[in-house]
Structure 1
């Protein structure tokens, strides 16, 4: 039975690390120490008192990642209410839907988002506050809260006449079954549901990271994931703060140029990211520097020797700021060729698997335990079963249960009943195999393509191969006019660098198609590559919204 409590993790961490930096805003250079963060949490608790916030009330947060974003979340969790993190990349309709559907009582948002909030969606909202300085943007009843925030320092000094001391950092631990957060999914199906994560769910996830020592005092992290997504919410915020780490927050998933500069400025020890970022850095910073001409990765790896491997590792380590100890990859499968390369040069990375409904961890391994082609080993306090006749060889739907599994979908009993069966197994909708406790994910059940001859294709596996080939920015595999094809967005920047036009790009795609099909062996082949004119629309975690393109 789970004995720990997330709220006590924060209490202990804030006291123990009060003099250490907690969160830095990369773009403004504003720094919150753990003491400063605890002060802000205490002020927010006073504001919540003034608002009459109750245990079951919801506090919604939307805006770019910054220290106050984190402070609001921690304050809400430690107050015993429920936080509703909203991804800043959601469109206006989604944001208004979430505010209304969650029954949010308070809003904290970047100023630009207040302009898109509609009166109908905010009819239950008592007040709204700015994430830039916590000033009151709106209150439903008079100007009491506006005045309170204007005089917050006076109220704070009156509450703590001897000054705010580490001993004042004390939070009541809520029941493990209390709903701590409602996280709205950003999936590729286009239907967003509110996932109810309890204190117990989040405690189990953070407890795992502490037991594996992923973070610790003095460990520098670079937070590039949206805090409104469960991956960033836990791995870029809750877990590092519980361990006393120093988080530098980027406002959002950065461009390659901004990321490169940030890595060199922050020198992080730990980075949590998505495959696309690691693949692009490996390709641009290492492979293209170590080879002349358009030599494919597959031809480079067999030629590796004891001299090349340390040089490649040194280049990639430098690209990550020079002091990187661990890169955690999640959110999608990592390209096999890139993975092979990283294992060969002994770069410290690992691939995990999870979902919002598990807050998020299902599987993970330390680099020294990582099995090639896998998503790690099943984490403690979780069970996994594969719905197939041979779990190790025949892919089936991945079913999970344990302390990480959500309480259900908010105000949606039907979807909850469809997702969690009577034996408490959560049906993930992902296909995979399980050998011992090593999990391998093949793709989404809903994305699986069944060909006329009965053979099955997992498009994500083919896309992963395509996305590291010359001249390809991204791809999407689908049935089109009765044929299995790949829609490809060309890498026009690379084409310009090579001095080739559209004819050259088409020739490059012909070569890529031949190489791809040769690598697929007896598996179904792609019949054509079709050039797509613009980047595919994506979720905030950079997954393609497949439903927009596959009919």
Structure 2
């Protein structure tokens, strides 16, 4: 790891870009790099006053916003470990993550604080509002409240008095832990991914050398910052380049996102497939279905004019000034990809996972290949676990600087993901070509992707539904962008009550409603389907999921 890893990039940004705009909340405040530095000084002072040490955990929960980013930077540059928590998790999940991570302090937005119970997080010194910079809960005899009040002026200042020399950046070992990222919430499925400084540094270095951004260029941050993909490419990397990052601050929907694109006009865009597909279906597909357009598309020469107009309209939807859209998290619909390539739309598809901080493969749109997820990134090795990796599908395995240290307090899961030779088993299936471009053919890990980029683990939803009356077993799948639960009823119970098929279906709708009250909104089931027979199982009694996925 060169110099002091990612911290050297932060130090350089604060030294070089002082008066440039750094962060904005969409339709809210804007602060420059000097103000970011001034607030980081405040965070460091708070930690010193409280006796928080290097390596201690600090939890952070909230929507994408300026104050979230400041707390994140202030924590990692102090040498503490940041524990970002997805705001969509329910109260029990948040309590569990705070306790499991042994976090010393929790930063929260006021809105999310209302659904927390501080008595269930006794490891904490207290809870601090990132909206107002005030102590919400103080478990250390008033010391937290006093310390927060003392640094409050730094969060109101104009940054003019800030000098980068005011900040002390500790020397951090490359293997030291920087981020503890939880890939799910419930205690039965928690996996705390241990990402060291070298992983984040390696990802940032690759982005600086291969992706194009310049000082003062604009980025919109709408993917969840608690996930590695959005955090790295919409926040950590652009910050090192002197860019102006606008945080959406609210739950992203295609309408809100496109409004932000129109006003901010970003120079690079990160997205998940569902966002692009929804925009395509609403803004482009209806035009292509018009009789006149259909006729023009059949005429050589004229069809090129139509394609140019469609491309311009689609580019304008995304603000009109971006150089590239990078899609990650899941496969893009093949029909959509084929059309976007036909109109020469500037997009590319990358591949990664939280456990690699997140990047595994990428190629710029001018070099990308159809249905490929790019080529292997620098400082990483890859192999396909098959006899013929060019033609025979096998598990994708990687090793290198981007990889995690392991899973927190979970030796079994750590031993499972790493083999004896240090190869990380991704659980994803694919092939490669001679230039090391990766073609993902399937995901053995079952994870689904929410509309805003959240990881959805069907086992969590299934565990919830399986515990309910009238349910024998269920399987959750993605059905054209909606979560569908296939439920095999408990016929012993239904027969005992002499329920008709119509009555059973009505009971299953009640199961859906009950489950959705428990689950986070992004994990809500949209459709329940009565399944007439037991699911086919493996010898280990696991459902053969691939037989039921679309």
1:287 Cα deviation after fit: 2.4
Q: SS where residue 192 of structure 1 aligns? A: coil
1:32 Cα deviation after fit: 1.6
Contact kept, 8 Å, 2:24 with 2:66, in 1: the verdict is yes
TM-score, length-scaled by structure 1:
0.78
Where does residue 86 of structure 1 map in the other structure? 85
1:283 Cα deviation after fit: 2.0
Deviations 1:181-216 (A, max 9, x none): 100013999822000000001000011100113333
Structure 1 residue runs without a partner (length 5+): 449-458, 468-472, 482-532
Q: 2-side partners of 1:384 and 1:156: how far apart? A: 45
Alignment of 1:518-529 (within 5 A): none
Residues 42 and 427 of structure 1: CA distance in aligned 2, closer, same or farther (over 3 Å)? same
Q: SS where residue 311 of structure 2 aligns? A: helix
Residues 414 and 120 of structure 1: CA distance in aligned 2, closer, same or farther (over 3 Å)? farther
Residues 475 and 341 of structure 1: CA distance in aligned 2, closer, same or farther (over 3 Å)? farther
Where does residue 16 of structure 1 map in the other structure? 16
Alignment of 1:311-330 (within 5 A): 311-330=309-328
Match of 1:422 among 420, 423, 431: 420
Where does residue 70 of structure 1 map in the other structure? 69
Match of 1:393 among 388, 391, 406: 391
1:541 Cα deviation after fit: 12
Alignment of 1:129-140 (within 5 A): 129-140=128-139
Residues 141 and 333 of structure 1: CA distance in aligned 2, closer, same or farther (over 3 Å)? same
Contact kept, 8 Å, 1:188 with 1:543, in 2: the verdict is no
Residues 108 and 303 of structure 1: CA distance in aligned 2, closer, same or farther (over 3 Å)? farther
Question: Is the aligned partner of 1:191 residue 2:189?
Answer: yes
1:111 Cα deviation after fit: 1.5
Q: SS where residue 178 of structure 2 aligns? A: strand
Residues 156 and 216 of structure 1: CA distance in aligned 2, closer, same or farther (over 3 Å)? closer
Q: 2-side partners of 1:301 and 1:479: how far apart? A: 49
TM-score, length-scaled by structure 2:
0.79
Match of 2:373 among 375, 388, 391: 375
Q: 2-side partners of 1:301 and 1:111: how far apart? A: 58
Q: 1-side partners of 2:187 and 2:314: how far apart? A: 35
Where does residue 57 of structure 2 map in the other structure? 58
Q: 1-side partners of 2:389 and 2:354: how far apart? A: 24
Q: SS where residue 133 of structure 1 aligns? A: coil
Q: 2-side partners of 1:101 and 1:128: how far apart? A: 17
Residues 539 and 443 of structure 1: CA distance in aligned 2, closer, same or farther (over 3 Å)? farther
Q: 2-side partners of 1:283 and 1:153: how far apart? A: 47
Deviations 1:357-378 (A, max 9, x none): 0000001110011011011111
Where does residue 149 of structure 2 map in the other structure? 150
Residues 26 and 301 of structure 1: CA distance in aligned 2, closer, same or farther (over 3 Å)? farther
Contact kept, 8 Å, 1:127 with 1:140, in 2: the verdict is yes
Where does residue 451 of structure 1 map in the other structure? none
Q: 1-side partners of 2:376 and 2:154: how far apart? A: 48
Stretches of 4+ aligned residues off by more than 4 angstroms: 1-4, 153-157, 187-190, 293-296, 299-304, 475-481, 536-546, 548-551
Deviations 1:451-504 (A, max 9, x none): xxxxxxxx9xxx99x84xxxxx547698989xxxxxxxxxxxxxxxxxxxxxxx
Q: 2-side partners of 1:540 and 1:387: how far apart? A: 36
Q: SS where residue 303 of structure 2 aligns? A: coil
1:55 Cα deviation after fit: 0.9
Match of 1:241 among 226, 239, 242: 239
Where does residue 308 of structure 1 map in the other structure? 306
Q: SS where residue 305 of structure 1 aligns? A: helix
Deviations 1:7-54 (A, max 9, x none): 000100111111111111014x21121111111101111111111110
Question: Is the aligned partner of 1:43 residue 2:42?
Answer: yes
Alignment of 1:161-310 (within 5 A): 163-186=161-184, 191-292=189-290, 305-310=303-308
Q: SS where residue 98 of structure 2 aligns? A: helix
Residues 446 and 142 of structure 1: CA distance in aligned 2, closer, same or farther (over 3 Å)? closer
Query: Which segment drifts farther, 284-293 or 72-81?
Result: 284-293
1:148 Cα deviation after fit: 2.5
Contact kept, 8 Å, 2:92 with 2:186, in 1: the verdict is no
Contact kept, 8 Å, 2:385 with 2:396, in 1: the verdict is yes
Alignment of 1:504-523 (within 5 A): none
Where does residue 6 of structure 1 map in the other structure? 6
Residues 268 and 178 of structure 1: CA distance in aligned 2, closer, same or farther (over 3 Å)? same
Where does residue 496 of structure 2 map in the other structure? none
Deviations 1:48-88 (A, max 9, x none): 11111101210000011111100011011100010000010
Q: 2-side partners of 1:301 and 1:318: how far apart? A: 26
Q: SS where residue 219 of structure 2 aligns? A: strand
Residues 144 and 218 of structure 1: CA distance in aligned 2, closer, same or farther (over 3 Å)? same
Q: 1-side partners of 2:368 and 2:417: how far apart? A: 29
Q: 1-side partners of 2:429 and 2:72: how far apart? A: 33
Task: Report the RMSD for the aligned CA atoms in angstroms.
Answer: 3.5
Q: 2-side partners of 1:169 and 1:310: how far apart? A: 51
Q: 2-side partners of 1:312 and 1:366: how far apart? A: 22
Q: 2-side partners of 1:405 and 1:369: how far apart? A: 25
Q: 1-side partners of 2:88 and 2:104: how far apart? A: 22
Q: SS where residue 366 of structure 2 aligns? A: helix
1:2 Cα deviation after fit: 5.3
Q: 2-side partners of 1:156 and 1:311: how far apart? A: 47
Contact kept, 8 Å, 1:175 with 1:199, in 2: the verdict is yes
Query: Which segment drifts farther, 193-202 or 338-347?
Result: 338-347
Q: 1-side partners of 2:169 and 2:519: how far apart? A: 35
Query: Which segment drifts farther, 361-370 or 2-11?
Result: 2-11
Q: 2-side partners of 1:344 and 1:82: how far apart? A: 46
Q: 2-side partners of 1:188 and 1:445: how far apart? A: 21
1:262 Cα deviation after fit: 1.3
Kindly tell me the number of residue pairs found equivalent between the two proteins: 474
1:256 Cα deviation after fit: 2.2
Contact kept, 8 Å, 1:229 with 1:541, in 2: the verdict is no
Q: 1-side partners of 2:186 and 2:348: how far apart? A: 24
Where does residue 433 of structure 2 map in the other structure? 435
Q: 2-side partners of 1:187 and 1:440: how far apart? A: 30
